[in-house]
């Protein structure tokens, strides 16, 4: 049996250092975090050859007294933790006392430091954990640490380092995250003699985002500010139309610390659900502030993962913060002279909404001005003007389940909008997926009985509506808008969807798995408007379909519902939501359908009045808006 021996100090130091220092970026992270903990308002990082041969970190923090400077390089020497109880509420970025010792174990290190009260500073030189010298030196207040020849004594680790460009990019990524997490600190990064970025340190997150990611990214963000259950969420999320192909631009910070959190990412993407296209991901720079005893940061060697006492509280706070920001950021722009709230995108809707039969059609000539109406004041018809046709009959004969009925086909081009809109009271619970928040805590964009001044100009390609809404020019995808309106109404049908019984029963043969899924979810299908009975074997009989989708093919609609139920990627609530997507899509007016001006105007009115109609259930935008200034820029009238 091999003899058990205690490792020599030098070997144990290298092993311990390997857990903390993986590459030059790890060194920069530890040193800059120490600078932030020291109260620095400016931090400068300079590196050469990816930081492997040379890197320097300079700050104007509190500095280290001469007597304590050599002690700082001893393992577990720290000024941030005194007792075991302190670990239950860590408020600093560093706390283990391992960073300087680990750096000194694998590189040549020089530290020049002076406190603000002292006249002279101290220069400490240490290599491979061996203290070489401690001398007095003149230097500015703060601390400067120079690290050379990283892993010079650990060739096994050195050979795994990547090219200088890759190592420098990793350092830049670390500095970007620290700059975003602490906008009050001015961070300057110099790479091979060239200044890469320099944040202003003005305390404004928007300034840091602009500096780090550029103008294009920062201009397509929505502000976030929300608090729930002791968790305060602030920062920015990307506009739904500016989604990305991956999650690389999702940044979460917990009490000033960059963190990889699955809870945060799941809440963010759940909040964007139905507002972003499938396969795309939102970007964010979100800061979570909470009591220190609600989060444990001592769970990962690099301190980039945390655990929350209540994952649910964090999820709910982020989820509702995102929902609120999207609702505020997608409201119709205010009219000229209308008061603007603090957020420039949060415009109130202030004009009374006209009421008319949503199915009324006008039979006037194509160029008749009466068809291009203003939603506030409708001019009277001339004596010689064509009279309105009688209201069209509803596309569906709606009856109770007890009475038989027969399918009535409807013209595919008719836009069916609700006659009455329900306005939830402020005390009403939110129409959002249940995440445990109380109704009073959960925000919900309120549907309003008012709208902007609207002028419908027509449509192009029989798909996109052209309209002037207040002081903006708008393009509206009529299929996406109608689909979202129908989907919202379907979700609000708490007692189940009305049925349309079929004149001819439809027999559908399924696979064994699909047949079992249908029989196991007959109640759910009934609430969705399907009347289904087992026919024996793997077949079922379809007696009724949702009334709103009476114009769709019964067999195809039912098979789509079965496909959603059979998907192993989602549980029943998700399957029901997917079925509602399909029903709304099947029932909505299609691109290429012909619609009269009255139907288009009613659709535009509903889009303006309902803040929930901004994206179709698949995440495509419903409306694109251009201000007069936007158009004048496009035509070169203004710069």
Sign of CA dihedral 212, 216, 217, 223: positive
pLDDT, one tens digit per residue, over 199-229 is 999 999 999 999 999 888 888 899 999 999 8
Q: What average pLDDT does range 123-152 have in this prediction?
A: 92
Q: What is the pLDDT of residue 252?
A: 94
Q: What is the pLDDT of residue 5?
A: 64
* Lowest mean pLDDT, pick from 61-70, 461-470, 575-584, 628-637: 575-584
Tokens read off for 31: 């040193």
Q: What is the pLDDT of residue 11?
A: 62
Pairing, β 284-289 against β 295-296:
unpaired
Q: What is the mean pLDDT of the chain?
A: 75
Identify the CATH homologous superfamily for domain 401-419+436-639: MutL, C-terminal domain, dimerisation subdomain (3.30.1540.20)
Q: What is the pLDDT of residue 443?
A: 42
Say how far apart CA 169 and CA 191 lie, in whole Å.
Answer: 10
pLDDT, one tens digit per residue, over 265-285 is 999 988 888 788 777 889 999
Q: Which residue has the higher pLDDT, 316 or 372?
A: 316
User: 175-199 burial by CB neighbour count: b if 16+ within 10 A, else e?
Assistant: bbbbbbbbbebbbbbbbeeeeebeb
Q: Which residue has the higher pLDDT, 432 or 117?
A: 117
Tokens read off for 228: 């729930």
Quick check: 400 pLDDT over 70? no
pLDDT confidence bin for 406, thresholds 50/70/90: very low
Quick check: 79 pLDDT over 50? yes
In contact, 400 and 586? CB cutoff 8 Å: no
User: 106-119 burial by CB neighbour count: b if 16+ within 10 A, else e?
Assistant: bbbbbbbbbbeebe
Tokens read off for 151: 């892993």
Q: What is the pLDDT of residue 148?
A: 94
Q: What is the pLDDT of residue 378?
A: 34
The CATH class given to the 9-198 domain equals alpha beta
Q: What average pLDDT does range 617-623 have in this prediction?
A: 82
Q: What is the pLDDT of residue 10?
A: 61
* Lowest mean pLDDT, pick from 61-70, 102-111, 140-149, 511-520: 511-520
Please state the domain extents for the chain.
Answer: 9-198, 220-329, 401-419+436-639
Tokens 């020849």 found at: 149
Sign of CA dihedral 29, 34, 35, 37: positive
* Lowest mean pLDDT, pick from 125-139, 319-333, 436-450, 597-611: 436-450
**Three-state secondary-structure class, residue 254:** strand
Quick check: 370 pLDDT over 90? no
Quick check: 586 pLDDT over 60? yes
Tokens 């530890």 found at: 30
User: 375-386 burial by CB neighbour count: b if 16+ within 10 A, else e?
Assistant: beeeeeeeeeee
CA angle 185, 186, 188 (to 5 degrees): 135
Q: Which residue has the higher pLDDT, 315 or 346?
A: 315
pLDDT, one tens digit per residue, over 604-613 is 888 888 877 8
**Three-state secondary-structure class, residue 216:** helix
Quick check: 548 pLDDT over 90? no
Q: Which residue has the higher pLDDT, 578 or 139?
A: 139
In contact, 576 and 567? CB cutoff 8 Å: no
pLDDT, one tens digit per residue, over 390-399 is 333 333 323 2
Q: What is the pLDDT of residue 208?
A: 94
Q: Which residue has the higher pLDDT, 359 or 463?
A: 463
Quick check: 291 pLDDT over 70? yes
Q: What average pLDDT does range 15-38 have in this prediction?
A: 82
Q: What is the pLDDT of residue 80?
A: 59
Tokens 């070169």 found at: 636
Quick check: 549 pLDDT over 80? no
The domain 220-329 having CATH identifier 3.20.20.80: the answer here is: no
Q: What number of other Cβ atoms are within 10 A of residue 130's Cβ?
A: 10
């Amino acid at each position: 049996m091999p003899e058990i021996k205690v490792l020599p100090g030098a070997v144990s130091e290298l092993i311990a250092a390997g857990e903390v220092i993986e590459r030059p970026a790890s060194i920069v992270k530890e040193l800059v975090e120490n600078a932030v903990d020291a109260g620095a308002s400016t931090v400068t990082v300079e590196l050469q050859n990816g930081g492997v041969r040379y890197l320097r970190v300079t700050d104007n923090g509190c500095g280290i007294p001469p007597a304590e400077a050599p002690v700082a390089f001893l393992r577990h020497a720290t000024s941030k933790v005194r007792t075991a109880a302190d670990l239950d509420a860590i408020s600093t970025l560093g706390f283990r006392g391992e960073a300087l010792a680990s750096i000194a174990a694998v590189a040549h290190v020089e530290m020049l430091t002076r406190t603000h009260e002292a006249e002279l500073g101290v220069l400490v030189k240490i290599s491979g954990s061996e203290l070489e010298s401690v001398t007095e030196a003149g230097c500015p207040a703060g601390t400067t640490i120079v690290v050379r020849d990283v892993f010079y004594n650990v060739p096994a680790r050195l050979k795994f380092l990547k090219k200088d460009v890759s190592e420098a990019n990793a350092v830049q990524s670390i500095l970007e995250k620290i700059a975003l997490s602490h906008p009050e600190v001015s961070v300057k990064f110099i790479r091979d003699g060239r200044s890469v970025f320099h944040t202003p340190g003005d305390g404004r997150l928007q300034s840091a985002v602009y500096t780090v990611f550029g103008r294009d990214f920062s201009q397509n963000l929505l502000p976030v500010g929300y608090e729930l259950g002791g968790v305060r969420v602030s920062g920015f999320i990307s506009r739904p139309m500016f989604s990305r192909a991956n999650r690389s631009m999702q940044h979460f910070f917990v009490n000033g610390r960059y963190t990889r959190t699955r809870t945060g990412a799941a809440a963010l993407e759940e909040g964007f659900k139905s507002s972003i296209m499938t396969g795309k991901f939102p970007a964010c720079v979100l800061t979570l502030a909470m009591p220190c005893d609600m989060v444990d940061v001592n769970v990962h060697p690099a301190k980039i993962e945390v655990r929350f006492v209540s994952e649910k509280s964090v999820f709910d706070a982020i989820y509702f913060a995102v929902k609120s920001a999207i609702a505020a950021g997608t409201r119709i722009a205010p009219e000229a002279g209308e008061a603007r709230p603090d957020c420039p995108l949060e415009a109130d809707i202030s004009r009374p909404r006209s009421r008319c039969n949503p199915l009324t059609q006008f039979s006037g000539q194509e160029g008749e001005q009466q068809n291009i109406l203003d939603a506030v004041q409708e001019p009277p018809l001339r004596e010689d003007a064509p009279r309105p046709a009688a209201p069209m009959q509803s596309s569906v004969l709606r009856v109770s389940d007890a009475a038989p009925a027969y399918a009535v086909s409807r013209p595919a081009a008719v836009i069916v909008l609700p006659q009455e809109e329900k306005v939830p009271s402020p005390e009403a619970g939110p129409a959002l997926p249940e995440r445990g928040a109380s109704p009073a805590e959960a925000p919900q964009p309120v549907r309003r009985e008012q709208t902007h001044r609207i002028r419908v100009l027509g449509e192009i390609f029989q798909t996109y509506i052209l309209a002037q809404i207040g002081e903006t020019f708008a393009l509206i995808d009529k299929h996406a808008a109608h689909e979202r309106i129908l989907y919202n109404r379907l979700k609000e049908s708490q007692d189940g969807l009305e049925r349309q019984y079929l004149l001819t029963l439809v027999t559908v043969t399924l696979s064994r798995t699909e047949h079992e899924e249908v029989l196991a979810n007959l109640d759910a299908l009934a609430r969705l408007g399907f009347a289904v009975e087992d026919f024996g074997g793997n077949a079922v009989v379809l007696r009724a379909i949702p009334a709103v989708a009476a114009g769709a093919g019964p067999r195809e609609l039912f098979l789509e519902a079965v496909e959603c139920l059979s998907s192993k990627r989602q549980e029943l609530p998700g399957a029901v939501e997917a079925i509602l997507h399909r029903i709304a899509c099947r029932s909505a007016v299609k691109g290429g359908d012909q619609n009269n001006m009255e139907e288009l105007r009613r659709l535009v009115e509903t889009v303006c009045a309902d803040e929930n109609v901004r994206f179709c259930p698949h995440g495509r935008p419903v409306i694109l808006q251009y201000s007069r200034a936007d158009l004048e820029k496009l035509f070169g009238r203004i710069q």
